[in-house]
Amino acid sequence: NRDYEKSLDAILNKLVDNKYVSKRILSKDSSNKYNIYSYDFKPINYEKTIVLISGIHGNEYTPFFGVARFLELLCKEDVNHEELNYIKNKVRLIFVPSVNPWGFENDSRNNYNDVDLNRNSDYLWEEYNSLKSKKGQIYYKGESPFSEIEMKSIKKLVEDVYEDNLVGLIDLHNIISVDAERIVYYPRFVDNYLGRFIDTLKKFNSNENRTIFGSSISPVFSNYVCERYKIPALCLEWRENLHGRGRDKNDMSKYVEFLGNFIIEFAKIESNTEAYANTQPFNKFLIWNKSDEDGYRVLKSNNYITMENVSYSIPLKRNYIVNLNGNIKIKVKKSCTLSILPCLYQVCSKEQSYKKCNENLWFSHDIHLNEGEYVVPITATVNGFHTNYNEIDNLKRVGNLEFLLRFKTNVVSSVYIENFKINLTFIPSDKGIATEVLDLNNNKSLFPKDVKR
């Protein structure tokens, strides 16, 4: 049935009581013929909000009816399910059943203006330049980001509810062109709750039901929301007729199970993706290559000299164990002794400052080298503390983590640095002593020293 209003009457409109469930018009669509509606399932004392959208592609019908069936189940008085009861009483759900009602009525992927609405957002807009994104093609992205009234409407919806503790958005689709049965797309290189969503998807993986957990760099709406608002957002896709025919009760029951498990997982989220990402480990890989024939010349000196124009600085958004491991490629033109000090420190850190790094020399090397080329390994570690600000007063709070390389040699024009490759790993830790430096010769702790044990 492609009658838009009658399809709404079949389930969703029957749920509207203007108490728990309300309905409103977001806007007309681009044909100026059909209304775009939202349905608001709003408990009295809710704690968080989730937005569900479907029908961005008008010819993908299963989510329209599947979400309606899930919400119908939620509205029953005898919901005998702990997690669904939590959602019913503590989670506000906002559902836009058809972003593209003209496409719904006309069995069309694109809208009245022949724009693929799920390529019309401001996420990697300029980078999306495939031939299929051009006018007249299947993935035509439109004249500009959010040029289409349909996308402006759901963009404004998200803007309006963001401050109402919006914890996630799910964009629902049918699989048309990909050889799989269930797909979850997430934005590549954007923080997200990937682990829990992978685990949810794995519940449905089998020989008959192949799943894909894929990263996306297309200007789809869920990618835009995830990047712009720092909340988890996914695009869920489902192949029709897996368990029945024509959206019959068997097929729809399985779809509601699939959809419902993701809604339940979203309902467990307590913080935005940025806060969550700060609890995750990460890497920074530093590369430097010489810009002339010889490279950087190490100066003869009795004191360490910092390598010019080579440094790295990063604020720490929580406490981390920071480990440095890498290699330095050097060319030796005369036999000499080379001293290397990888200087990993934190600004204004009493025990791990630049001064302490140069006094302690825990990670330094003194190497006697003959003429030739060498690759020298280096290592260092720091118990990194949360970076704070120092602008307001004269207090010296802990600042950024800093990295420098320092060298010295005992022979003039003897050593040249050709390149280095260094990996910094950041491991979140709430342990009081997350990094300890031990002197095994004297059986004592070098860092930290002044600690009650």
154-197, pLDDT tens digit by residue? 999 999 999 999 999 999 999 876 777 899 999 999 999 999 99
CATH of the domain at 343: 2.60.120.660
Instruction: Kindly state whether residues 126 and 101 are assigned to the same domain.
Output: yes
User: In this predicted model, what pLDDT tens digit does every residue of 210-258 receive, in sequence order?
Assistant: 889 999 999 999 999 999 999 999 999 998 888 888 788 898 999 999 9
Ramachandran bin of 70, using left for φ above 0, alpha for ψ from -120 to 50, beta for the remaining angles: alpha
383 lies in a domain?
yes
Report the pLDDT value the prediction gives residue 391, as an integer from 0 to 100.
65
In a domain, 452, yes or no: no
Domain, as residue range, for 211: 4-276
- Report if residue 9 sits inside a domain: yes
Same domain, 204 and 286: no
365 and 239 belong to one structural domain: no
Question: Do both 191 and 121 map to the same domain?
Answer: yes
Over residues 305-321, the mean pLDDT reads 96
- Record the pTM: 0.88
Quick one: pLDDT band at residue 17, thresholds 50, 70, 90? Answer: very high
The C-alpha atoms of residue 29 and residue 363 are separated, in whole angstroms, by 65
Radius of gyration of the chain (CA): 29
Q: Count structural domains, the chain.
A: 2
Q: Could you tell me where the beta strands, DSSP code E, fall in 385-440?
A: 401-409, 415-428, 437-439
HSE, CB side, 13 Å, CA atoms: give it for residue 347: 16
The token pair at 313 is 């600085």
What integer pLDDT is reported at residue 311 of this predicted model? 96
Examine the domain organization and report whether 249 and 307 are in the same domain.
no
Catalytic residue status for 127: no
Q: Which of 60, 237, 402, 418 does the annotation list as catalytic?
A: 237
Pick the closest to residue 282 from 310, 321, 313, 311 (CA basis).
321
**Whether residues 318 and 174 fall in one domain:** no
Mean pLDDT of 4-26: 97
- Residue 453 falls inside a structural domain: no
pLDDT given for residue 396 in this prediction: 79
> Does 448 sit behind a cis peptide bond, omega within 30 degrees of 0 on the bond before it?
yes
pLDDT greater at residue 211 or residue 395: 211
Handedness of CA 325, 328, 329, 335 (dihedral sign): negative
How far apart, in whole angstroms, are the C-alpha atoms of residue 235 and residue 239? 14
Whether residues 261 and 335 share a domain: the answer is no
Choose the final residue of a domain: 259, 276, 293.
276
| Higher local confidence (pLDDT), 409 or 250 | 409
* 8 in Cβ contact with 37 (< 8 Å): yes
Whether the CB-CB separation of 402 and 313 falls below 8 Å is answered with yes
| pLDDT bucket at 300, cuts 50 / 70 / 90 | very high
Condensed to tens digits (0 to 9), the pLDDT of residues 35-92 reads 999 999 999 999 999 999 999 999 999 999 999 999 999 998 888 899 999 999 999 9
Same structural domain, 186 and 312: no
258 and 395 in a single domain? The answer is no
What average pLDDT does the chain have? 94
With contact defined as beta carbons under 8 Å apart, do 97 and 64 qualify? yes
pLDDT digits (tens, 9 = 90+) for 276-298: 998 999 999 999 999 999 999 99
Domain boundary among 276, 293, 319: 276
- Among 117-121, 132-136, 381-385, which is the least confidently predicted range? 132-136
What DSSP element (H or E) covers 101?
A: helix 101-106
pLDDT for position 445? 92
User: Residue 100: its pLDDT value, please?
Assistant: 98
Regarding whether 310 and 254 lie in a shared domain, the answer is: no
- Whether 238 and 317 map to the same domain: the answer is no
Same-domain pairing of 290 and 346: yes
Q: Please check whether residue 78 lies inside any domain of the structure.
A: yes
Does residue 205 surpass a pLDDT of 90? no
Separation of CA 123 from chain center: 14
Q: Is residue 50 part of a domain?
A: yes
Last residue of a domain, one of 220, 247, 276: 276
CB 303 within 8 A of CB 407: no
Select the more confidently predicted residue: 345 or 245.
Answer: 345
User: Could you tell me if 360 and 342 are in contact, meaning their C-beta atoms sit under 8 angstroms apart?
Assistant: no
In a domain, 389, yes or no: yes
The CATH number covering residue 107 comes to 3.40.630.10
Burial class of residue 104 (count of CB atoms within 10 Å of its CB; 0-12, 13-18, 19+) = buried
Closest to 145 measured CA to CA, from 124, 176, 162: 124
Using alpha carbons, list the distances in angstroms from residue 382 to 109, 185, 281, 307, 447: 54, 37, 15, 21, 10
In a domain, 76, yes or no: yes
What pLDDT is attached to residue 193?
Answer: 93
